[in-house]
Amino acid sequence: MQLGIRGCLATADFVNEREKGGKMHLEPSAPMDPLRRSPSPCSSSRPSSPSTPPCEMLGPVGIEAVLDQLKIKAMKMGFEFNIMVVGQSGLGKSTMVNTLFKSKVWKSNPPGLGVPTPQTLQLHSVTHVIEEKGVKLKLTVTDTPGFGDQINNDKCWDPILGYINEQYERYLQEEILITRQRHIPDTRVHCCVYFVPPTGHCLRPLDIEFLQRLCQTVNVVPVIARADSLTMEEREAFRRRIQQNLRTHCIDIYPQKCFDEDINDKILNSKLRDRIPFAVVGADREHLVDGRCVLGRKTKWGIIEVENMAHCEFPLLRDLLIRSHLQDLKDITHNVHYENYRVIRLNESHLLPRGPGWVNLAPASPGQLTSPRPFKVCRGAHDDSEDEF
């Protein structure tokens, strides 16, 4: 009580002195008790404003270890990548696949052996496990011998579209099971590399008709095959004509503009789109050039180095498929192309009174697998789940 009265008297004297214009000297107060200091902003229960800096951590918590956990888990499960090559015979599809992965993924026929041309389009798939620095990649390559080799090529794309949709159907039939596998085997085609013959003119009607259907089902990357048969001027003019054909006929090739997520992706993909279709040369033999071994093709005029940008654009294709966009190809396949197929198939089914969430989905007919479907952009969240080998 005495402390309260003295405080009031001191306050009154201070007011009177200030009104008189005088000065008043206050005695220094006792040091404040550390336990009664004002709470810091970090301990305050009031919400902090957006401009308030975050609280300084007293030490590491270990959040960065999440990256190590994801890496260890991914290394244990491995990765999968399914690629399809489409083009006429003699364009070097098998050699290009071997060049991409620097291994004998596909055994091409030795030169000089008369191999008969297939009477109908056939699809052959081979699967290999490639390991590099502890990273395992389960690679599946699907070749299409006989495409475009017949006199009558009417609807020659039906077996290819049927195969792609059949892989979607397999994944869907496994996904809708009530008790399903923890890791569904992924046989869906993640990328289709379309080989354009080096005619030097423009896309053929067969190429346009097929690409219009193919781009609605899978990621398509067109390339100019055997680009060493064209001069630099012919190659650039051929590229511009093909790009004009793609824009005129609304053929949306990979990477699509609508899937550029940030400014860095937009800049990188814009540079790639300006160079597509890549002018590539395939070779699976090494030659000695200036004391170093290089992959290339030996001609009378010298050696065409596959990994030399001055000779061809194979490094751009390799970086797109493996080094920079491999996971993005898988994400778009799952979140866009497969999702479109899944929505259409589930809309065709009907619900049965067997409980919530029960779906009766009959297997797709051959006509449903090959009929073109409208393209629908519906990219959801990324799913990084992989299959164990």
Given a cut of 60, whether residue 214 has pLDDT beyond it is: yes
- Is 273 in contact with 256 (CB distance < 8 Å)? no
Mean pLDDT of the chain: 80
Which bin fits 250, alpha (ψ -120 to 50), beta or left (φ > 0)? left
Q: What topology is assigned to 66-351 in CATH?
A: Rossmann fold (3.40.50)
Each residue's pLDDT tens digit, 90-114? 898 988 998 888 887 766 655 445 5
Maximum Cα–Cα distance across the chain? 119
Over residues 230-248, mean pLDDT: 95
What is the per-residue pLDDT for 219? Answer: 96
Given a cut of 70, whether residue 348 has pLDDT beyond it is: yes
Could you give the count of Cα atoms lying within 13 Å of 111 in the half-sphere of its Cβ? 3
* Nearest-angstrom CA–CA distance, 280 and 303: 15
* Nearest-angstrom CA–CA distance, 294 and 314: 13
DSSP per residue, 219-288? -EEEEESSGGGS-HHHHHHHHHHHHHHHHHTT--PSSPGGG--SHHHHHHHHHHHHHPSEE------EEE
Task: With cut-offs at 50, 70 and 90, classify the pLDDT of residue 15.
Answer: very low
The pTM (predicted TM-score) of the whole model is 0.74
Over residues 309-328, mean pLDDT: 93
Lowest mean pLDDT among 142-156, 165-179, 245-259, 317-331: 142-156
Residue spans of the domains in the chain: they are 66-351
Task: With cut-offs at 50, 70 and 90, classify the pLDDT of residue 55.
Answer: low
- Is 227 in contact with 257 (CB distance < 8 Å)? no
What is the per-residue pLDDT for 103? Answer: 80
